[in-house]
Amino acid sequence: MEFTQDEEPNVEKPIVIAAMQDMGNVGSIVVNFINDSLRTKIFRIARTLNPTYVVDRGGYIDLPNESWEYKYTEDLIIFGGGKGQPQGNSEINALCQDVIDIAKKYSAKFIYTLGGFHTNRVLDNNPKTYITTTSMELTKQMKGLNVETTPQKSIITGFNGLILGFAKKNGIHGIGMYGELNEPEIPQYRAAISIIKTLEKLTYRKLGDTSQLEAMAQEIERKFKY
């Protein structure tokens, strides 16, 4: 991975929200929504040096621009969004470590990550968001805020799981929020809305009007008739 930084964000003890594209594009939908809603500013970029695919333009190929941005506003640092995530463990680990290094540099106390939670439960357009944390003590505190914890043991792969492990290793509180979805291959805007509402509850701040996401959810439902 290659990291470049052109400015120092004016933040003090920020909350870090870090998530990459995953099932149902949930991580990217939420991160992109927050960045658009809060008009965050770029201060750092992570680029992969080893692309995982090429783009055929019809007779010739281009290399993809695989990069992910760090943005900030007031007391928030936002990382990720965009398209995809590195496929190799070494690059995902490098990204996780860089997020941790940035969190430490600016004295962040909390890292939030988020993604999809695949379930067969009938959702009726009202998916739940489940949380898991980096300690039993923190989970007990979260239960007092009337949020639901993940219902069973499981393995969380990819950046949106590993970043919690890196946070735990480095003594930073971490919370993962995973919105229910039935169809991982289809953009899941309702899962994203559920996560945004949960994130607002846990951070005590308004992240923006989700009516456009609601409209996009309805369009997806009309298109796929589910």
> Is the pLDDT score of 78 beyond 80?
yes
Residue found by looking up tokens 């914890």 in the block? 149
Q: How confident is the model at residue 156 (pLDDT cuts 50, 70, 90)?
A: confident
- CA atoms of 100 and 24, how far apart (whole Å): 26
Strands 15-20 and 110-118: parallel
The ranges assigned to domains in the chain are 10-224
pLDDT tens column, 11-59: 989 999 999 988 999 999 999 999 999 999 999 999 988 777 788 999 9
pTM, whole model, 2 decimals? 0.91
The three-state secondary structure class of 207 is coil
Sign of torsion, CA 159 1 69 186? negative
Residue % of the chain over a pLDDT of 70: 99
Query: Could you tell me the fold of the domain covering 10-224?
Result: Rossmann fold (3.40.50)
Dump pLDDT digits (tens) for 103-138. 999 999 899 999 999 988 888 888 999 999 999 999
